């Protein structure tokens, strides 16, 4: 049985303690830390500015547990879905979404193995939550998909969305640590403005995010603009109703000034009427918000169907006519089950 520790579970201060114990100069700890998080190094042997003796000590005491690519699927629209195997044999998925005409290359990362929220329209919601991902496992998705992006499109990633498997705010500390690793000077140095956290709506954690203010953008998976309908498809709404969520989002905006968006999947004959649009407008008055209308992607065993293009256009027009900023997002990667709500390790 493996007795070595995963060094990426240690803080810089933890590594410093080991270095001092080994009677090495304390600055070696910073070098090791930067190899791990700034240079995304997965082998102690590659840490060439460390002595051979120190590298041997690192190898004797630690290991680096990284993701292993299990399968990659390529969509006709350029989207790439990758399934990874974790150190405990669990599997997760990440998606590369290229929009070459806008020079935008986004990675959608997962934060949990499975999900506990049971949203009725979501394939991931039909899976049980196995565990939260470590910050390093979220970080690794970015590193791997960024390399994938460079190899396939000759361009680095431009954006990160926490919209994959799981609820980011239910693994809050790991989500925040991963953002630190992605954005800090000792990590990859990405601008937090390029990162969006998507939540099904955990009010108290939205307010905590406002207090901690990592300067990221926030997206609410809304999908219905009244409590009765939202309760039907998103059980989390029973403990975090729309009134509570709107108050939390208002606090978030007042404290941070960071951008907020609503993700709104249009379902036929459920949430795509003009009355639904009126209800949605009323949720867009307390702070600036952008609404992203998303076409539904079929999930096996789910009765909901996607709204017609005509209904989506009428819905979007009503919002625009009432001064709401709207984007209609056409699904990408749906031919490989990589679109919104389809991630289920298939």
The answer to whether 93 is a known catalytic residue is yes
- Count of CA atoms in the C-beta half-sphere (13 A) of 255: 19
Name the token pair of 72.
């990659």
The answer to whether 108 is a known catalytic residue is no
Among the listed residues 115, 119, 284, 340, the single catalytic one is 340
Instruction: Give me the CATH topology for the region 5-63.
Output: DNA polymerase; domain 1 (1.10.150)
| pLDDT tens string 64-91 | 999 999 999 999 889 999 999 999 999 9
pLDDT at position 121: 85
pLDDT at position 337: 60
Query: For residues 302, 304, 310 and 311, what is the CA-based torsion angle, rounded to 10 degrees?
Result: -150
CATH (residue range 68-336):
3.20.20.70
Q: Which of 27, 24, 31, 23 shows the shortest CA–CA distance to 7?
A: 31
Question: β-pairing, 80-85 with 325-329?
Answer: unpaired
* Distance, CA of 230 to CA of 247 (rounded, Å): 17
pTM for this prediction? 0.93
pLDDT at position 127: 79
| pLDDT tens string 239-251 | 999 999 999 999 9
Question: CATH 1.10.150.530 spans which residues of the chain?
Answer: 5-63
| pLDDT tens string 290-318 | 999 998 887 777 888 999 999 999 999 99
| pLDDT tens string 254-276 | 999 999 999 999 999 999 999 99
Among the listed residues 93, 134, 137, 263, the single catalytic one is 93
Question: CATH 3.20.20.70 spans which residues of the chain?
Answer: 68-336
How confident is residue 116, by pLDDT bands cut at 50, 70 and 90?
Answer: confident
């Amino acid at each position: 049985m493996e007795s070595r520790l995963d060094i990426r579970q240690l803080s810089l201060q933890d590594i410093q303690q080991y270095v001092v114990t080994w009677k090495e100069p304390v600055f070696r700890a910073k070098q090791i830390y930067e190899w791990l998080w700034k240079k995304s190094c997965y082998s102690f042997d590659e840490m060439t500015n460390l002595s051979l003796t120190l590298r041997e000590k690192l190898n004797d005491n630690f290991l680096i547990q990284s993701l292993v690519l299990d399968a990659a699927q390529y969509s006709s629209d350029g989207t790439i879905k990758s399934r990874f195997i974790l150190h405990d044999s669990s599997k997760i998925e990440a998606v590369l979404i290229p929009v070459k005409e806008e020079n935008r290359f986004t990675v959608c990362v997962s934060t949990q193995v499975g999900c506990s929220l049971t949203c009725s329209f979501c394939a991931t919601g039909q899976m049980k939550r196995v565990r939260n991902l470590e910050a390093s496992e979220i970080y690794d998705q970015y590193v791997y998909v960024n390399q994938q992006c460079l190899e396939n499109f000759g361009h680095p990633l431009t954006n990160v969305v926490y919209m994959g498997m799981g609820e980011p705010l239910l693994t809050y500390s790991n989500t925040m640590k991963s953002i630190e690793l992605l954005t800090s000077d000792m990590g990859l140095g990405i601008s937090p403005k390029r990162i969006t956290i998507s939540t099904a709506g955990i009010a108290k954690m939205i307010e905590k995010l406002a207090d901690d203010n990592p300067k990221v953008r926030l997206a609410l998976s809304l999908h219905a603009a009244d409590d009765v309908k939202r309760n039907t498809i998103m059980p989390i709404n029973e403990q975090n109703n729309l009134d509570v969520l709107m108050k939390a989002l208002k606090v978030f905006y007042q404290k941070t000034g960071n951008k907020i968006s609503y993700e709104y999947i249009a379902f036929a004959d459920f949430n795509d009427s003009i009355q639904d649009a009126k209800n949605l407008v009323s949720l867009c008055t307390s702070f600036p918000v952008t609404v992203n209308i998303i076409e539904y992607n079929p999930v096996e065993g789910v009765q909901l169907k996607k709204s017609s293009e005509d209904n989506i256009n009428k819905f979007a027009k009503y919002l625009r006519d009432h001064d709401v900023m709207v984007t209609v997002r056409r699904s990408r990667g749906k031919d490989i089950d990589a679109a919104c709500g389809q991630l289920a390790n298939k």
